[in-house]
Structure formats: C-alpha cells, structure tokens
Copies of this chain bind each other. A is one copy, B any other.
Amino acid sequence: MKGNLLVAHGGGPTAVINSSLYGVITEAQKHSDIEDILAARYGIEGVLIEDFININKKNQSNIDLLPGTPSSAIGSCRKKLTEEDYPILLEIFKKNNIRYFFYNGGNDSMDTCNKIAKLAEKSGYEMKVIGIPKTIDNDLAFTDHCPGFGSAARFVATSAMDLAKEVMARPAHVMIMETMGRNAGWLAASSVLGKINGESRPQLVYLPEIPFDMDSFLKDIETWNSKVTGLLVVVSEGLADKNGEMIAHRGLVDSFGHKTPGGVAQMLADTIIKRLGINAWAEVLGLLGRTSMPTQSSIDRDEAIAVGKFAVKSVIEGKTGQMVAIERISNYPYEFALKLVELSKVANVEKKFPLEWINEEGNGIKEDFMDYCMPLIGDPLPEYASYL
C-alpha cells in the first residue's frame, strides 16, 4: 500500500551503517508505493519527538557519498524504550502515515523492532517492519555474520599486524592490545588474521568466552616472553572471571542495564609490570575500531548496501516482523545470499564466539576461524617483511 517509509539507527554506528542506509534509500526510490522517505534524527529518540529528515528533499550527490562515509549520517541513540513509549510510537507512525519501518541495529534494537512489529499487528495498523542487522561485535544470531563486523575485523587485524611489528622493535616488551567486545570475542579473535604474513609472530588472545584467570594469564606471559622478542597480547574489553564478573569496568551501566567495560589492557599491563617485572604497554583501539574508513572492508560495504536494498524489497513483497540475514554460500571465492529470519528469534540472543575455534590453552584461535573471517575483511592483507 501507499505510504511513507521511516528508517532509524540504534546503538553504536559502524563503518558501513551508512551503506545500509544508502541501500534503503536507493531501493526505496524505485518503488512508487513508497512516498516520502523519512529518517529519524538520532534514532528512536527522534521518532518519539517526530524529528524526521525528509530524504526526498536531499541532494542525491550527497546521498551517493554515504557508502564511503563512516558513523551515522542520520544520528543514533542508545535508548531503551519503556512500556509507555510504545503506544506513543504507534500514534506517531499513524499520524505520519508510516507504512514501512526499518530499524538498523544490534540485539537491543532487534528487540525494540520486534515489539514495534507486534504492536502494529495487534492494533490492526498496517505497517511492514523489518530489522536491518548491524554490529561490529558480530553477536547477532541466525545470520552468518553482521554488516559492520568485516570492517571492524579488518581494523583489528591490521592494527594487530602494525602493533606486533612495533613491539618487536624493542627487546623485552609485551604489548596488550584491547579490542571492543563486551560479551563476544569475535573482534579480539580477528587479530590473528595477519599472522599468515611475514614471520609467524607470537601472539596470545583472550576472549570473554573463556573465564579469565590471572594466575594462568601471568604464567602464559612469563613463558612466552622468555621465548620471543616482542609479544603481542590481545584482549577483549569484556574479559570476565569464572563468576562472570568483568575484570575491569568503569563502574557504570548503560540504559539497557549492561555494565560498561573499560581499562582491561592497562590493568593487565600494570599487573605484568608489578608481578613479573616485565615491561608492558597498553593500547586501546577505541572508537576508531568502529569508525575507521581507511580499513573499511569492500565486502562489508557491498553486503551492507545489499542488506538495505533487500529490506526494502521484502516490505514491498509484504514481509514484516523479520530481520535480514546473511547466508554464506562459499568462502573462496566468497559468495553470499540474503534471507529473512523471525525478529522474535533474533531479539536478545547473543551469538558467542564458538568454543571449538579456541585452542585448548584458552589463549589462541584455531585455523577454522581464518576461513570464516578472511573473506569478510575485503582486500587481502598486506605482506610485511620479516625482521632482518
């Protein structure tokens, strides 16, 4: 049916969330059922105050730059809706004749999206609702991987290559590199992708999937530091002990009730210096990890655009209450297909890093992960000289 389209972003942006936005816009422009293409400014908060950007009135040459532009060109937020917000949202959708609604986000956003789809259906308001996946953490279930992950993985992989070279240039140093990843270790694991280049560099990796034990960690460091010059140690920000308590956090919780991690690299470096007397540096990859354009993956960008387009095609076909998911067809050459999965299945499920891809010692990643991840990061990684 004829009506307006609304798209909103939820949670932290990625290097390709604007690519999905570009996919939504350019596909929507082809369908006469879609009248105004609207975007909510600053995510669901923008919907609640009816702060809409009318894309139809925007310059197409600027829209064409979206796939090469990081962060969110329409803004985002990290708001958890209350039960009272939902009826307000429904009234706003009706008032603005929104018949197609797309929410582009991670786990929490898919939960919100699911609730909106259910509410529209229950109240008899005809509105097609589709979730568009996005997360650098790669922790959404029922999809092979998420748009945003490939680029973030490429950033982690090249950073690990570069920092490993850096630490190898000084005798007797250990470098602790902290990646994003609150509960799932996908990003920390991506640090091993560059290991195939140049010398087989020493590297330890600790993921939140394995309960962290300080004594065995220090034993690992002592053993490896005595064997090699310049040890790179990669840790997820969300490392937690056997009771599930994060070993370093800011003492804060976000609006979804999740604890905010932070400081694990510095804490571990300090502990290494104090207890082992070994020089240790801490490096935090920080927000560049989700926004760096020099490491945007071309595959990730192309998939993100395709996912956005598929979402629009799906609502035109009458689909609702679903999330677009990526299915892997083959690794080499890399091929994928798109499909839909029920939002109710996806919402609030976290896909952890598979335990069978972690080595027995719990401090390294097995080769199987390489085949999974390498196709997603785009162009081949550079080849580096071995140290002379």
Are B68 and A383 in contact (CB-based, < 8 A)? yes
> Cβ of A277 < 8 Å from any Cβ of B?
no
Alpha-carbon distance A39/B55, docked complex (angstroms): 60
Instruction: List CB contacts (< 8 Å) of A63-108 with chain B.
Output: 63, 65-66, 68-77
Closest Cβ–Cβ distance, residue A362 to chain B (whole Å): 27
Which of A77, A168, A281, A385 has the most B CB atoms < 10 Å from its CB? A385
Closest Cβ neighbor of A59 among chain B residues: B386
A13 CA / B164 CA spacing, docked (Å): 13
Asked if A20 is at the interface of the complex by the 8 Å CB criterion, the answer is no
A positions within 8 Å CB-CB of B: 9, 13, 18, 39, 42, 53, 55, 58, 62-63, 65-66, 68-77, 158-159, 161-163, 165-166, 168-171, 198, 281, 283-288, 290-295, 382-388
- A286 contacts B283, C-beta separation under 8 Å: yes
| Chain B residues whose C-beta falls within 8 Å of the C-beta of A295 in the assembled complex | 294
A293 contact from B162, B287, B292, B388, Cβ within 8 A: B162
- CB <8 Å contact, B387 and A75: yes
In Å, the complex CA distance between A76 and B169 comes to 6
Residue on B with the closest CB to A290?
Answer: B166
Contact A287 B294 (CB under 8 A): no
Query: Known contacts A63-B385, A293-B161, A294-B295; is A171 also within 8 Å of B284 by CB?
Result: no
Q: A163-B291, A286-B283 are in contact. Are A71 and B169 (CB under 8 A)?
A: yes
Copies of this chain assembled into the complex: 2
Are B291 and A287 in contact, CB atoms less than 8 angstroms apart?
Answer: no
Task: Give the Cβ gap from A190 to chain B, nearest Cβ, in Å.
Answer: 15
Q: Which residues of B contact A73 (CB under 8 A)?
A: 385-388
Say what secondary structure dominates the interface of chain A: loop
By the criterion CB–CB under 8 Å, are A388 and B55 in contact?
A: yes
Please indicate the chain B residues that have their CB under 8 angstroms from the CB of A281 in the complex: 287
The closest CB in chain B to the CB of A78 belongs to: B170
From the candidates B76, B288, B385, name the one contacting A62 in the complex (CB within 8 A).
Answer: B385
Instruction: Give complex CA distance A284, B383 in Å.
Output: 27
Distance from A240 Cβ to chain B, minimum over Cβ atoms (Å): 24
In the assembled complex, the CB of A56 is this many whole angstroms from the nearest CB of chain B, namely 11
CB pair B385–A171 under 8 Å, yes or no, is no
With contact pairs A293-B161, A294-B158, A294-B294 given, residues A166 and B287 touching in the complex (Cβ less than 8 Å): yes
Chain B residue contacts of A286, Cβ below 8 A: 283-284, 286
> A386 touching B62 by the CB < 8 A rule?
yes
Q: Can you show 21 pairs from A to B with CB atoms below 8 A apart? A: A42-B169, A53-B388, A63-B385, A65-B198, A65-B384, A66-B385, A69-B384, A73-B387, A74-B388, A75-B171, A76-B169, A77-B170, A158-B293, A159-B288, A162-B291, A163-B287, A163-B288, A281-B287, A284-B286, A286-B286, A294-B295
Report chain B residues within 8 Å CB of A386: 62, 73
Nearest CB in chain B to that of A21: its residue? B388
B385 with A170: CB separation less than 8 A: no
Q: Give Cα distance in the complex from A71 to B65, angstroms.
A: 34
Complex CA distance for A268 and B141, rounded to whole angstroms: 39
**What is the bound-complex CA distance between A288 and B157, given in angstroms?**
13
* Known contacts A39-B388, A73-B385, then 5 further A-B pairs from the complex at CB < 8 Å, ordered by chain A residue: A66-B385, A70-B166, A71-B168, A74-B388, A77-B170
- Contact (Cβ within 8 A) A71 B388: no
Which residues of chain B are near A68, meaning CB under 8 Å? 382-385
A169–B287 contact, CB under 8 A?
A: no
A65 and B42 alpha carbons, distance in the complex (Å): 46
